[in-house]
Structure 1
Amino acid sequence: MTRLLEGKSALVTGAGSGIGRATAIAMAREGARVTVADLAGPGAGDTVAAIRAAGGEAQAVVADVTRPHQVAAMVDAAVAAYGRLDCAHNNAGVAAGTLGAGGQRVGDIDQEVWDRMIAVNLTGVWLCMKHELAAMERTGGGAIVNTASIAGLVGLPGTHAYVAAKHGVVGLTKAAAIDHAEAGIRVNAICPGYIETPMIGDSMARRGERILARAAMRRLGQPEEIAEAVVWLCSDRSGFITGTTVTADGGYMAS
């Protein structure tokens, strides 16, 4: 059976750990040649090593998604290595807890925290798409999946700028899908619930019991479960799906 992404060139940001690493590994397993991008070079290198150990093809790129020149160079590196860009997962993100602002109310957060959260979680997605879309248009199309969140669908306590940014990612995804459909590019968003990565440590410490009690499956998700959805959205098997959000949350939003 032909693998889902056989021969495609893929790019994953925030691929040094968590959902990004799981997605990069899953894409390579399905036949993609993967550009593994992360702000942390060692993490990206570890992901590439895992892919190569399994017989896949990948390269590591260090990039800050808030820096336009670094984003442009990242996409250029993917095209230079593999001849084109067919699919991308814009996954790099930062949580409020990572910046020491988890649990604060909207009226209590510092502007420095707000600016950083918006820069990484929303502007970074736009910058990546700006260059990815141009590369895909040159070769006849492609597929992009942006990591949003259930925080892009509802308000959550103590997550302020993260909620605002992820709502923005959902809207930006819809707009990009409409604008670039004629160019043969599909753009969708994945909305994970609470996934077992270091990023949710603060939320789980503050209200872990309530989070698990609300999720119908009564557990955290695994990065690999999100990765499988992203791979499918990047594959031709989801060829009529664009401008939508796929929620993978163990039933959290159903209750």
Structure 2
Amino acid sequence: MFFLLNYKSHMKETLSPLQEGYGIGLEVGNLEYAGYNAHGFCLQSFWSAQPLAELEQAAHTYFDGLVQLNQLVAANWCRSCWISTLNLLGIAKYPTILSRDTEQEEEFISQMVSVNDSLGLSFFYLYKMMLCYLFEKIESIEKDVEEIKGYVLASPGLVTQPLFSFYDSLIALASLSKAKNKISEVKELRKGFGARRTARGLRSGGLAHLDPGARAGPVGRATSGRTGHLPRLLRGRGQLVRPGAGHPRAGR
């Protein structure tokens, strides 16, 4: 039912029929049908921005009910929605992990892969893409986008396809922005390194580098170009000798 309404009506309009479908499935004993409707309600409620607190309770209830009915595939689909809601509410410890921890998440993924549940994987990874983008952890999901695309394309007619395109674009833009920021940081570091190297060169050059008018005197000391060589005393004579004056005894 919601395969068609997605393209004709707002997702909110599918919620009441999905709840009714769950009840009808239980009434006539078609438990698989009931499971599909239960998950459809969770999926459509989540992506149509229903209140998170109410959705968390509903998804949890559907999950528990489907487990009791032994509808484990649909229960796992509801579980992904339920855990994602807990993450958005700030209840979960790790906001981008759809399990208690990374190890349990890997086990959950392996379980879906082992039974070839591509539909469940598309739901799972779509929630994860959204969480990784919102909590700025795109590096943990961007390498898996192509694989996720394969799962999503295997489930035509669902709202998951346009949602995947939306978050795929957001993650790509965020990755580009992050790369540009890194380039800017490298440029700033290089600029700072060049400035420090110039400052060290000035310090090691002494006064001769600081005073353009300075020149070396005959004894290797930096002297001012305006005053010429500094006067010096002759040893043992006590007489002052200035440059160019010659020996004090000359001409006598």
TM-score, structure 2 length as denominator?
0.30
Structure possessing the higher radius of gyration over alpha carbons: 2
Give the structure with the higher percent strand: 1
Give the structure with the higher percent helix: 2
TM-score, structure 1 length as denominator?
0.30
Which one has more relative contact order, counting CA pairs under 8 Å at least 6 apart? 1
